[in-house]
Structure 1
Amino acid sequence: MSIKPTPVARPQRVCYNGGQHQLLLREERMTYATERLFWNNPYLIEFEAQVMGRITHEGKPAVILDRTCFYPTSGGQPHDTGTLSGARVIDVLELDGDIVHILDTMPVEEHVTGEVDWPRRQDHMQQHAGQHLLSACFDRLLGAATLSFHMGVQECTIDLDLAALNDEQAAQVEEYANRVVMSDTGITTRQYRPEEVALLDLRKPPVVEGLVRVVSIGDIDHSPCGGTHPSSSGQIGPIHIDHWERHQNGVRVAFLCGLRAVRDHVAQSRICHALAAQASVGVSDLPEAFQRLSAATEELRHQVRSLQEERVALLSASLLSEAEPIGTGRLVSRVLENAEPGEMRALAQRLVEQPGMVALLAVGGPAVQFCLARAKDVAVNMNAILALAKQYGARGGGPPHFVQGGGLQASMLQNLFQDARKLLQQSLSVETRGDAQG
């Protein structure tokens, strides 16, 4: 069930230096071809408007209205979605002061009714205001300026002018931001003349000339911004710094706000409790249990490697004793049962340490993997045998002395071995050892 918010009416005032500024006269306010209703009331999601223009944008129908509640993509905040008289609004962008609504179908009416998707709008309001607050906290506590902001579908990121960030610093910033959230500090917007902007303690300089729209979170942050924001910090909801990484010459911080943070917490909590139940420990004991499991796993890996090495040594000795003479060399050809490809490669390498040895090994399965190897003194290019394998649908490659491949059907393996024997018999009956290449 969707919940539609009611418009929130409250004074839009910002105080600084002990003074209170009067509202700008109407003719002094920022004006555009399309009236931006979302600036006056971001909670307004239903409206009526006149169609001022109909265009085609990148092959899709689009309209320009005299007024709109739909926010266009700008300032790191994605566009709103919703409907216009039954047509689905799939994109919103700004072109020369006009707001262009990209639709799935063109409405026939000249007077249209619009409805903004509230869950998406609310999410964007929470993320954008949360970014303002988080950036202000990084600036206040660490002196780290925000260089850029990106609002993604899953998470948001800010790029900080900061050499490094540690766990303790991130926790301090996160707690500071959430204390401001819990204080339910008012968030206000106002337009300022250039001479007034110079008196404000802005966190970042404006990028527009003339009147500047400033979003203020109490006396904590004042930032030029054209986005949509809630009317108080409490409506941002919880703020969670998820992770961070080095990015170019600074730090990129990923964070979640509002319902995103709540849903992430619920998902992570379920995962932790499921793992704890599987490990028969409490959630707080999971790190220690994981360390024990990692240590035990590494010990098992060490034991497996030792057993594999022993198995390779025993199997190598057995296969060498069964090697068949072929021309001036000896040949081992075998399909290995219950062996991993890594064991096969290790066995081939061990076999061809012996002079005059050629090894044709494979591990079974629906699609066979194979290894074709020869000793350094054997003058045969193993890619010649690979060419035979490719005739049966195999693929692979490698240097002349050691070729690996796969994709060969098991039913074709014996045919390959027979063809390889013929090729080796011809090559080794006329070639001599010591002039091998590779």
Structure 2
Amino acid sequence: MQGDEAFCLLDWPRRLDHMQQHSGQHLLSAVFQEAYGYRTESFHLGEDYCSIDISTAVLGEDERFQVEARVNQVIFSNLPVLTYTLRPEEQDKVPLRKIPNLPGDLRIVEIKGLDYSPCSGTHVTSTCQIGLLKIIKCEKYKGMTRVYFLCGDRALRDYGRKQAICGDLGSLLSVGETELRERFTLELERRRQLEQNVAELKRELMGLRAQGIVTQEKSPFFVDLPDTSIEEAQMLARSILELTRATVVINLGERLVLAHNLPTNLHLGQLVKERAQPLGGKGGGNASSAQVYFADPAQLGEFLDLLQAMPLEGN
């Protein structure tokens, strides 16, 4: 109402951030179109990153790096970023990157001599105020390529975070940053080899345990293996069934692993569905193997008692 006053305070750091990202997007889109003819179909300015979707399903690494280099070259060239209004009769005289279907005057944001785009957003007044632009990731998206990027202070903060991570990793591995990739690859290979060795030892251990079980007991085999993984339990069940025809029930504490190799009509998946689920068990399986989980130990015990009373050798 007339006579009222309002006090407005501009959040300048946020405004500058948006100006850097938005002007950076105009420049990035212009260079993609100028260099390769890739149009920008959409733009997202988020709190943590920005992205554009460009009209190509495949973006080569060389294209990505050449575009980024060209964008930063323009940034360092300190080109003016101009804003002005064009009347309808003037709009045909300007090579607009995208022609909007809008009546009346258009507000134009021009990166001097390089890009002309209708836009009502906030922008820097020269390309050097963008600071720098870094493409951080590219991915396929709905037949296009989504390009993620950071400008200005966002790019500097991202660089600082990544430099700190590289420095910490270098200290942990006692190598310089330039040697990190090679050392990390070696450590991954070493870990893969260790995992293979551990898996082989586990197979041997389960094989020995299976021999002891088969020698001392008879089918069906009920085995308690608390604090053991499902993979190890399945490994033990396979080892037992390689030695003899049997039914195996392995109790992991909250979960049961069941398996058999008998030439009968015993269907373990159906057994779990019909007998375990009414007791609160969650699981399933096929004719020769199944799993079931119980949140309540008493319910698991009840199902175990039921199994021990059943003819698990089938008919």
Give TM-score scaled by structure 2 length: 0.90
Structure 1 residue aligned with 2:282, among 395, 399, 402? 395
Check conservation: 1:174, 1:239, Cα contact below 8 A: yes
1:226-277 per-residue CA deviation (whole Å, 9 max, x = no partner) reads: 1111111111121110010112222110001111111111111111111111
Give the match for residue 75 of structure 2: 181
Q: Say whether 1:351 aligns with 2:245.
A: no
**How far apart in 1 are the matches of 2:86 and 2:303?**
82
Equivalent position amino acid for 1:215 in 2: V
1:388, CA displacement in angstroms? 5.0
Check conservation: 1:357, 1:378, Cα contact below 8 A: no
Give TM-score scaled by structure 1 length: 0.66
1:35-65 per-residue CA deviation (whole Å, 9 max, x = no partner) reads: xxxxxxxxxxxxxxx58xxxxxxxxxxxxxx
Structure 1 residue aligned with 2:259, among 346, 351, 373? 373
Check conservation: 2:272, 2:284, Cα contact below 8 A: no
Question: Could you say what secondary structure the match of 2:220 adopts?
Answer: strand
How has the CA–CA distance of structure 1 residues 416 and 206 changed in structure 2, closer, same or farther, with 3 Å as cutoff?
Answer: closer
Check conservation: 1:202, 1:222, Cα contact below 8 A: yes
Give the match for residue 274 of structure 1: 168
Check conservation: 1:361, 1:371, Cα contact below 8 A: yes
1:253-305 per-residue CA deviation (whole Å, 9 max, x = no partner) reads: 00011111111111111111111111111111111011101111111122122
**How far apart in 1 are the matches of 2:212 and 2:274?**
29
Question: Could you say what secondary structure the match of 1:206 adopts?
Answer: coil
Give the match for residue 406 of structure 1: 293
Check conservation: 2:226, 2:251, Cα contact below 8 A: no
Q: Say whether 1:140 aligns with 2:34.
A: yes
Structure 2 residue aligned with 1:295, among 189, 198, 203? 189
**How far apart in 2 are the matches of 1:147 and 1:158?**
7
1:162, CA displacement in angstroms? 2.3
1:158, CA displacement in angstroms? 0.8
1:294-318 per-residue CA deviation (whole Å, 9 max, x = no partner) reads: 1111111221222122122222222
Q: Structure 1 unaligned runs (5+)?
A: 1-49, 52-108, 325-329, 433-438
CA-atom RMSD in angstroms:
2.4
Give the match for residue 69 of structure 1: none
Percent of aligned pairs with the same amino acid: 32
Give the match for residue 236 of structure 1: 130
Where does structure 1 differ by over 6 angstroms across 4 or more consecutive aligned residues? none
How has the CA–CA distance of structure 1 residues 235 and 322 changed in structure 2, closer, same or farther, with 3 Å as cutoff?
Answer: same
**How far apart in 2 are the matches of 1:224 and 1:421?**
77
Larger RCO (CA under 8 A, 6+ residues apart): 2
Question: Could you say what secondary structure the match of 2:93 adopts?
Answer: coil
**How far apart in 1 are the matches of 2:132 and 2:45?**
17
1:411, CA displacement in angstroms? 6.7
1:97-138 per-residue CA deviation (whole Å, 9 max, x = no partner) reads: xxxxxxxxxxxx943222332222221111110000111111
User: Which of the pair is proportionally richer in helix?
Assistant: 2
When the two structures are aligned, how many residues end up with a matched partner? 314
**How far apart in 2 are the matches of 1:201 and 1:117?**
34
How has the CA–CA distance of structure 1 residues 297 and 273 changed in structure 2, closer, same or farther, with 3 Å as cutoff?
Answer: same
How has the CA–CA distance of structure 1 residues 350 and 182 changed in structure 2, closer, same or farther, with 3 Å as cutoff?
Answer: same
Give the match for residue 421 of structure 1: 308
1:180, CA displacement in angstroms? 1.6
Structure 2 residue aligned with 1:252, among 146, 152, 172? 146
Mean CA deviation greater in 290-299 or 135-144: 135-144
Q: Structure 2 unaligned runs (5+)?
A: none
1:415, CA displacement in angstroms? 5.0
Check conservation: 2:259, 2:288, Cα contact below 8 A: yes
Give the match for residue 335 of structure 1: 224
Check conservation: 2:272, 2:290, Cα contact below 8 A: no
**How far apart in 1 are the matches of 2:271 and 2:53?**
55
How has the CA–CA distance of structure 1 residues 398 and 127 changed in structure 2, closer, same or farther, with 3 Å as cutoff?
Answer: same
Mean CA deviation greater in 234-243 or 178-187: 178-187
Give the match for residue 197 of structure 1: 91
User: Which of the pair is proportionally richer in strand?
Assistant: 1
Give the match for residue 384 of structure 1: 271
**How far apart in 1 are the matches of 2:259 and 2:107?**
73
Question: Could you say what secondary structure the match of 2:7 adopts?
Answer: strand
Check conservation: 1:394, 1:405, Cα contact below 8 A: yes
1:419, CA displacement in angstroms? 2.7
**How far apart in 1 are the matches of 2:79 and 2:282?**
66
